[in-house]
């Protein structure tokens, strides 16, 4: 079973994404902000294959988490997807340039997340 980390300061959004990922067969770990995400990845990163990141969070933003993790070769094999309300094309381009494998805009459907996970090779 693949493990996924859902990072969002909204408890409701973490629950929605976690439920969908669990239905797709993932074991899910959650973080309420970027600092927690970095701590979890430092502790458990070798076992986590997918990270879903919100952009706007307190303490450390999702884009900062993305940049920090992508700067470390230990996380080269981890798929990272932004799931955010940021809808500007410039923000999407910035995230992809920073190393995001995919980008999902909120609000989203379960099917949209499923399609993106297929695109990045996390679902058959």
Q: Tens of pLDDT along 77-108? A: 999 999 999 999 999 999 999 999 999 999 99
Containing 50, the helix (H) or strand (E) segment is: strand 50-53
Q: Tens of pLDDT along 35-67? A: 999 999 999 988 999 999 999 998 999 999 999
Alpha helices per DSSP H over 4-109: 11-23, 34-44, 62-70, 89-98
Q: How far apart are alpha carbons 85 and 101 in whole angstroms? A: 17
Show me where the domains of the chain are located.
3-118
Quick check: helix, strand or coil at residue 97?
helix
pLDDT > 80? residue 1: no
Assigned CATH for 3-118? 3.40.50.2300
Q: What is the CA 29 to chain-centroid distance, rounded?
A: 11
Alpha helices per DSSP H over 45-124: 62-70, 89-98, 110-119
Q: Tens of pLDDT along 18-32? A: 999 999 999 999 999
pLDDT, residue 27, reads 98
């Amino acid at each position: 079973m693949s493990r996924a980390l859902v990072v969002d300061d909204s408890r409701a959004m973490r629950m929605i994404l976690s439920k969908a990922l669990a239905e797709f067969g993932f074991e899910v770990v959650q973080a309420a902000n970027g600092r927690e995400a970095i701590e979890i990845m430092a502790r458990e990163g070798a076992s986590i294959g997918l990270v879903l990141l919100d952009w706007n969070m307190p303490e450390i933003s999702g884009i900062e988490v993305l940049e920090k993790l992508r700067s470390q070769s230990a996380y080269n094999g981890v798929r990272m997807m932004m799931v955010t309300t940021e809808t500007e094309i410039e923000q999407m381009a910035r995230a992809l340039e920073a190393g995001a494998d995919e980008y999902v805009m909120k609000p989203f459907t379960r099917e949209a997340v499923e399609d993106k996970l297929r695109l990045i090779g996390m679902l058959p």
